Amino acid sequence: MSTADRGKQPSLAQLRAFAAVAEHLHFRDAAAAIGMSQPALSGAVSALEVALGVQLLERTTRKVLLSPAGERLAVRARAVLEAVGELMEEAEAARAPFTGVLRLGVIPTVAPYLLPNVLRLVHDRYPDLDLQVHEEQTSSLLEGLGAGRLDLLLLAVPLGVPGVTELPLFDEDFVLVTPEDHWLGGRQDIPREALRELHLLLLDEGHCLRDQALDICREAGRTEGAPVTTTAAGLSTLVQLVAGGLGVTLLPRTAVDVETGRGGRLQTGYFAEPAPARRIALAMRAGAARQGEFVEFAQALREAMAVLPVRVLSTGVPRRGADS
């Protein structure tokens, strides 16, 4: 036995051959069990003995016996083969779409209003998908996506972030929520210019909805000095402040029924066309391994969102961030 041959890594074929012989203690029966010719089987076992540097079998004219080393190593060989089988099964499961874990990040101004539809879709259409939801602000979600902590995001766009691909889902209008005695309450044709002097209540800094609302106000000609109160961390608190007469606010259309349906002294008003709106999309890493799966998921979400008061977008082409 040469030093060069000893110490070589055993092959899976050699381990299968030895495990079969260890089980059947007969070369012909072992060869038939694994679909290998008897000479090939014998050669594989001999090569394994050379690679390991130990005698595994005691061969006689009548039968085959395991050596003491063979008895010990047969256990290890079976364990290795079982582990390889589990590896192959896991790989096969990973190749199947909509299985395993999907870590979905969602912004707070979307989560309470869209998640019921998302969860229902996953339950009905993708029962083998382990959906894990993380509610965070946009900056934290993008950090998690880039770091691999999250797989997919549901949030307002455009992001314009390099390396991130957007899959637009729908557009939704903003609605003005006012106290019940407000002069704009209940109107269906509010001009954007009305936003110039209103006492506006907004979410705390860090929420993308705050930035969107301020952009809408600037487009309407609102001056920097017009009163804006920032006192709320969530839309529910914001609406309660409006009901208390402290000002007015803008809500995305999907949030209106939930947030104004709890009672309170509120009215809603709708803007004249074209109404201010935001776009909601899925976002993924450009070139993600599951890109095809995510594109299909986006289309399923568009269909599921058709029951909401939104304008569902056609599939279109995924939009990539700058320089991605």
Mean pLDDT computed over 145-171:
93
d(CA 309, CA 253): 7
* CATH 3.40.190.10 given to domain 100-168+280-320: yes
Q: Would you state the pLDDT for residue 324?
A: 41
Element (H, E) at 167: strand 164-179
Q: Would you state the pLDDT for residue 319?
A: 61
Q: 87-127: per-residue pLDDT in tens?
A: 887 777 677 788 889 999 999 999 999 999 999 999 999 99
Phi, psi of 41 (to 5 degrees): -65, -50
Decide which of 208 and 126 is more confident. 126
Which pair of structure tokens corresponds to residue 268?
């809603």
d(CA 269, CA 250): 10
Q: Would you state the pLDDT for residue 320?
A: 61
In this chain, the answer to whether the domains covering 100-168+280-320 and 171-270 adopt an identical fold is yes
Average pLDDT, the chain: 88
d(CA 99, CA 120): 16
d(CA 217, CA 195): 6
Give residue limits of the domains in the chain: 12-95, 100-168+280-320, 171-270
Mean pLDDT computed over 206-225:
79
pLDDT over threshold 60, residue 204? yes
d(CA 244, CA 240): 6
Candidates 308, 271, 253, 294; CA nearest to 168 is: 294
The model scores a pTM over 0.75: no
Q: Would you state the pLDDT for residue 93?
A: 65
pLDDT over threshold 80, residue 196? yes
Taking the CB of residue 170, how many other CB atoms lie within 10 A of it?
21
Q: Which of 72-81, 86-95, 107-116, 213-222 has the lowest mean pLDDT?
A: 86-95
Looking at the structure, give the CATH architecture of the domain made up of residues 171-270: 3-Layer(aba) Sandwich (3.40)
* CATH 2.60.120.620 given to domain 12-95: no
Candidates 155, 133, 121, 161; CA nearest to 296 is: 121
The sign of the torsion formed by the CA atoms of 32, 36, 40, 42 equals: negative
Q: Would you state the pLDDT for residue 7?
A: 57
